[in-house]
Chains A and B, each alone.
Chain A
């Protein structure tokens, strides 16, 4: 990373992808004093919006995509951020030093001095016969959510394939709307990649208590046709059949890497960036769901790079990339966190529990109000929190400050966790 500065800036920064990461990148550039032009090009027709409500409130018909907009039109104008919607970039030509031209599907072109990729991810497609039948839905963008909302209003039997956040949030909403709901998944526990075992077990019980049927370790082998091209259910590996008039597939997302590949950037389960958000060509930056980056927190023996799909990660990575482009580089090192809302259950997760060797449970999971604190080598590394927001905030700030909470004391729910935050003796030695 010898020279990241480019002297003449006439065409400025082009941000491809106008959502959480792209808009944050543009806003942060201005905040960090970048004064050349900024253009953000997005493929969707809606003004940039928040994705989390798509699997929650938006399905209840309470909200319109306008109501979840990230910024006002006046704000973009005020900040001199040119927002171009409904244009998909399909090719980028680039010369030396990072400058080049991007071409949209429509034929429009956009010149730039520096390029930022915030293109996000697309839903992973279900790889079985029948997956393209009518009545099979995916959920990634606002149009998907509006289509799913209309379908849910008519549905009786809903089958959710996948036990991650999106699947479970849709299952919760469908149940609240009065549908019969079945969840079937390949993994042997819910939210396997995101939370620890006690939290997975809690969510299994919580969904069952609310009348959802759950099949673990049962990925459908095919979806069944009602004879008119509409889905009528799914067949499981043991030959049994689940009937449904609406199927929602939520089996993860795949990073959009086509443009990066075309540019010859290193791609490995996401566009590879360093801790400054810089890609392998040394000039292009990238942020958000499309990115594989060094873990922001210490993960001994962990993966060298991770992809972490959350609002907080998109925002922090975008700030990091903007700081680099504005010649104020600061490495990305924020403690990742995210949340999920299902029924009246608020889940908050702070840190990365990967590779923990000990955990303690605070409170009684059966009361639907508890926390799990994870430790590795004696250090507090992460926590899962269900309806315990004060505990979540305490752990998030302890982790951010490199401090700890003694596991023995943490199980006493009469003492606020905030009062137990202590210096991490091992951290001080290291």
Chain B
């Protein structure tokens, strides 16, 4: 079972057991992790699921799609090189555990 560590803007970490096939956004929202809203349910419509991915995990992820890239330009907290929309990161056994930091605000 992949684990996701969510680190808040203030530096508090919370570890959640994820389900293979769920996204990092879904895992957060279902378990009430603050800092990720995910209003559109993961269909790349809201950009309220912005996270900063731990540098060590970044290269293992699927690349950013054109649509996600465009949306990252419009997030409330400005994007960084390790920014992703967490609804686009699907958990899998191959990918293993992940660590992300949530921005100060999503909306």
Contact = CB atoms under 8 A, between A and B. Distances in A.
Nearest to A417: B74
Contacts of B29: 70-71
Interface in A283-311: 311
Interface in A36-91: 50, 52-53, 56, 68-72, 74-75, 78-79
A392 B31 CA distance: 29
Contacts of B76: 397
B39 A311 contact: yes
Given A339-B40, A389-B67, A393-B75, A75 B47 contact: no
Interface string A331-344: 00000000101000
A346 interface: yes
A71 to B, nearest CB: 5
Contacts of A75: 30-32
Contact of A71 (B30, B34, B46, B73): B30
A78 B70 contact: no
Given A389-B70, A393-B74, A341 B43 contact: yes
Given A50-B41, A53-B41, A393-B74, A27 B47 contact: no
B32 A392 contact: no
A416 B73 contact: yes
Contacts of B45: 339, 341, 346, 348, 389
Contacts of A388: 70
B76 to A, nearest CB: 7
A315 interface: yes
A48 B67 CA distance: 29
A72 B31 contact: yes
B63 to A, nearest CB: 17
Contacts of A56: 43
Contact of B39 (A68, A69, A312, A394): A312
Interface in B57-74: 67, 70-71, 73-74
B73 A418 contact: yes
A285 B14 CA distance: 33
Interface in A376-430: 388-390, 392-394, 397, 400, 416, 418
B20 interface: no
B43 A339 contact: yes
Given A389-B71, A393-B74, A418-B74, A70 B43 contact: no
A389 B76 CA distance: 14
Contacts of A71: 29-32
Given A389-B74, A394-B74, A311 B40 contact: yes
A351 to B, nearest CB: 15
Contact of A27 (B32, B40, B46, B73): B32
B50 to A, nearest CB: 11
A68 B40 CA distance: 11
A397 B30 contact: no
A50 B42 CA distance: 11
10 contacts: A71-B30, A71-B31, A71-B32, A75-B30, A315-B39, A346-B45, A389-B47, A389-B67, A393-B74, A394-B74
Interface of A: 27, 31, 50, 52-53, 56, 68-72, 74-75, 78-79, 311-312, 315, 339, 341, 346, 348, 388-390, 392-394, 397, 400, 416, 418
Interface of B: 29-32, 34, 39-41, 43-47, 67, 70-71, 73-76, 107
Going nearest first, the 9 A-B pairs with the smallest beta carbon separation are A393-B74, A339-B45, A72-B30, A390-B70, A389-B71, A50-B41, A75-B32, A390-B74, A390-B73
Given A311-B39, A346-B44, 13 more contacts: A70-B30, A71-B29, A71-B31, A75-B30, A75-B32, A79-B32, A341-B43, A346-B43, A346-B45, A389-B44, A390-B74, A397-B76, A416-B73
